[in-house]
Amino acid sequence: MNSQPLAGRVALVTGASSGIGSACALALADAGAAVAVGFSANRSGADDVVARILERGGAATTIGADLSDPAAAITLVDTTVKELGGIDIVVNNAGITRDNLAVRITDADWDAVIAVDLSAAFRICRAALRPMLRRRDGRIINISSIAGVVGNPGQANYSAAKAGLIGLTKSLCREVGSRAITVNAVAPGFIATEMTKVLGDELLAAVTATIPLRRIGTAEEVAAAVRFLALPEAAYITGHVLHVDGGLAA
């Protein structure tokens, strides 16, 4: 079996300084891709991911850009192309939560979540699709959430953004399929990262009891799904929402 099926490919992963994003960056690099590690505040986390990739003989670079700034998408895509020589795979992973009951969600918390979780992903797709369309090749993988599939009380802003990513994925798949570009979403359930740590042990134990596989998932398990969707073997899969949730949404 080819241990480097993504050799010669370039991937941009947003929010890759921690959690699911860093696991995706490492998995794609292990498969042979050169990886642009997007980060905002956590430069040391991003540097650490790049160091681990270089140690394993891969190629990677960090790109700092705050995705609440509309200009960040162009910075990320253009810098990826300039520093790594192209852009073949995009993983829109960066995301935030500002949880509250809908009646208490402020305009600022609504706008912040939509900006980072949805609008930034759209802008990155738009910027990355230009070179992909020219080359008639490309993979876009949007990290949605089970909260965008089934909804979740206390997460109206986050659910709306993550459901929006699924709509974006399906429309884009129809727009660019004729150019051999695939666009898919991965919808994780509860995954052990900083994002879920804040929920506390008691709530996580209660949630775990409702998951058919009776455990929280790992960032590496989400990264394995992302890696698969980037592989040549997944060339005929597009517009799909791949649940990595231990059966939570079944």
Min dist CB 32 to ligand NAD, Å, is: 23
Determine which residue in the list 27, 31, 89, 94 makes contact with ligand NAD, applying CB under 6 A: 94
Is there binding between residue 188 and ligand NAD (CB under 6 A)?
yes
Is there binding between residue 145 and ligand NAD (CB under 6 A)?
yes
Min dist CB 100 to ligand NAD, Å, is: 16
- Of the candidates 105, 127, 158, 216, the residue annotated as catalytic is 158
3-class SS of residue 14? coil
Q: How many residues bind ligand NAD (CB under 6 A)?
A: 27
Active site residue 158: yes
Min dist CB 188 to ligand NAD, Å, is: 4
Determine which residue in the list 63, 105, 143, 234 makes contact with ligand NAD, applying CB under 6 A: 143
Q: Which stretch binds ligand NAD (CB under 6 A): 5-13, 122-130, 175-183, 187-195?
A: 187-195
The residue among 1 and 198 lying less far from ligand NAD, judged by its C-beta, is: 198
Min dist CB 90 to ligand NAD, Å, is: 14
- DSSP annotation string for the chain: --S-TTTT-EEEETTTTSHHHHHHHHHHHHTT-EEEEEESS-HHHHHHHHHHHHHTT--EEEEE--TTSTTHHHHHHHHHHHHHS---EEEE-------B-GGG--HHHHHHHHIIIIIHHHHHHHHHHHHHHHHT-EEEEEE--GGGTT--TTBHHHHHHHHHHHHHHHHHHHHHGGGTEEEEEEEE-SBSSHHHHTT-HHHHHHHHTTSTT-S-B-HHHHHHHHHHHHSGGGTT--S-EEEESTTTT-
The CA-CA-CA angle for residues 245, 246, 250, to 5°, reads 80
x/- letters, 193..222, toward ligand NAD (CB under 6 A): xxxx--------------------------
Q: Which residues are catalytic?
A: 158
Interface residues with ligand NAD (CB under 6 A) are 14-15, 17-21, 39-40, 42, 66-68, 93-96, 116, 143, 145, 188, 190-191, 193-196
